[in-house]
Amino acid sequence: MAEASRTTPGFIGEFFTPEFIADPYPSYRWLHEHSPWFKVPDAPLHVAVRYADCQELLRDRRLGHGFRTRMTAQFGEDVFARHPAYKGLGNSILLMDPPDHRRIRGLVAKAFDARRTEAMRPRVREIAHRLIDRFEEQGAGDLVALFNHPLPVLVICEMLGVPEQDHGRFVGGSRIAGRIIDPTPMSAEELADADERVQENHAYFSALLDERRREPRDDLLTALVHAETEDGQLSYDELIANVSLLFAAGHETTVNLIGNGLVALWRHPDELAKLRANLDLAPSAVEEILRYDSSVQLSGRTALESFEFREQAINKGDQVLTLLAAANRDPLVFTDPDRFDITRDEAKPLSFGGGIHFCLGAQLARIEADEALRILLERLPGLELENAEAPARKPTITLRGLERLPAHW
C-alpha cells in the first residue's frame, strides 16, 4: 500500500501479506506517526502502538484472555472436544485468567527463578560447544537446523527431564510453530496438523509423567507430578497442557531470537565488528536484538469488563491488540528507534510481554542468546550468512523468526 493512500483501517489488511511478514517495521512507523491508538471500524478490536500504552494495557486487570468463552462462542460448545490443540491452549497458563492462572503459574515459576536459571548457563555453554563440534567441519549449512533450533530444545529437554535417548525426537521435530496463536484464523489443514502434533506430544509426555510417578527424579516433570498427585493443585489435563506449553515456549521464541539477532548483526556490519571485538557486549546486543526485531510481535487481550482507555470506549468482550514490536520502536522512548545499536542503554523492550503473563523463561532466553552469540563468533571466526538481506521467514505473525539461515564458515 502506497504511503499517500494508506489509511488506518487499510493497515489491518497488511497483517495478511507476505510483504508485512518480511518487514513489518515501515507499517509500525506509519502507525506511530498517524494512528498510535485506534479502534478498527466495524470490528470489536482496538490496537495499541505506543510503548506506554502497551505497557499499561498489559498490566490492566480489566483485560484478560477469556479464551474459553471466545472459542465456544465462535466454534460451539464442543470445540475443545473436537480440537486437542484448542483444548491444550485452554488448559495452559498462556491463555488462562486468574485465579487458575495464578494457581498454576506459581507451581511452574519456581523452576525459572533467577538462581536456577543462571545455574543453567554452564550447561548452555556445553551444549552449544557440543553442537558446533558436530558441524564445524562441514564448512557450510543451515544454522537454524544445526544450531539455533537444537540449542534451546536440548536445554528445555534437560530442564523438564526428557531422557537423553528421546532428545532426537524433539531436535528433529517441526521448526514452524505459532500459527495457532496468530490473530488470523488457521485453515482446516493447519488446524488438523496442529491437532495431530498436540496429540503426539500429549501422548509422549503422558507416558513420561507416568514414569515419574513410579520413579521420581530431580526435574521439573517430577515437581509437576507431585503438584497433581499429592498437592491436588493440578488436574491431569492441566498437567499435560502445561508440560507441553513449557516445552514449546521454552525453545520456540529463543530459536527466533538467535536467528533474528544474527540477521540484524550481519545487516549492520559496524555493530557486528563491535561485538566480534568485544564479546562482553553480548548481553547488551541481546537486549537490542529483542528491541529491534522482536521474536514476539504482538499480544492480544479480551476486555473482561467495559471501561474507557485514552478517551476510547472499550466494551466487555472487545479485543485489544498490543503491538509489542511497534512499541519497541517508539520514538517517544527510544532515540532514533530504527537504528540498530548494540550499546544502546534505554528502556527495556516489551518483547517478553508484561503483567501477570510476563514470560517465565525471559532470563533463560537471554542467557541462551548471550551464550549462542559469544560461542558462534568465537568458534566460527569466518562465519558468513548467505542471505541476510532477504532470509526465509516463518509464515507467522505473532512469532517472528526464520525458517532457514544458510551460512558458511
Residues 250-273 as b or e (16 or more Cβ within 10 Å = b):
bbbbbbbbbbbbbbbbbbbeebbe
The verdict on residue 3 lying in a domain is no
Is 133 a member of any domain? yes
Position 1 in a domain: no
Q: How many C-beta atoms lie closer than 10 Å to residue 243's C-beta? A: 25
On whether residue 2 sits in a domain, the answer given is: no
pLDDT digits (tens, 9 = 90+) for 10-42: 566 677 688 898 999 999 999 999 999 999 988
CATH number at residue 345: 1.10.630.10
Domain membership of residue 26 as a residue range: 8-408
- 373 lies in some domain: yes
- The arithmetic mean of pLDDT across residues 152-176, rounded, is 81
The larger pLDDT score, comparing residue 202 to residue 124, is at 124
Residue 24 is assigned to a structural domain of this protein: yes
Query: Does the pLDDT value for residue 322 go beyond 90?
Result: yes
Provide the number of structural domains found in the chain.
1
- pLDDT tens per residue, range 136-160: 999 999 999 999 999 999 999 988 8
Is residue 127 a part of any domain in this protein?
yes
Q: Is residue 114 part of a domain?
A: yes
Q: How far apart are CA 5 and CA 185, in angstroms?
A: 27
**Of the listed ranges 31-45, 97-111, 258-272, 371-385, the one predicted with least confidence:** 97-111
Query: Side chain identity at 236, as an amino acid letter?
Result: Y
pLDDT tens digits, one per residue of 356-381: 999 988 999 999 999 999 999 999 99
Average pLDDT on 305-332 reads 96
pLDDT score at 3: 46
Asked if the model's pLDDT at residue 187 lies above 50, the reply is yes
How sure is the predictor about 178, in pLDDT bands with cuts at 50, 70 and 90?
A: low
> What is the model's pTM?
0.91
Neighbours of 128 (CB within 10 A): 23
pLDDT of residue 249: 73
Tell me: pLDDT of 115 over 90: no
Q: Which residues pair with 38 in a beta bridge?
A: 47
Residue 341 near residue 288 (C-beta atoms within 8 A): yes
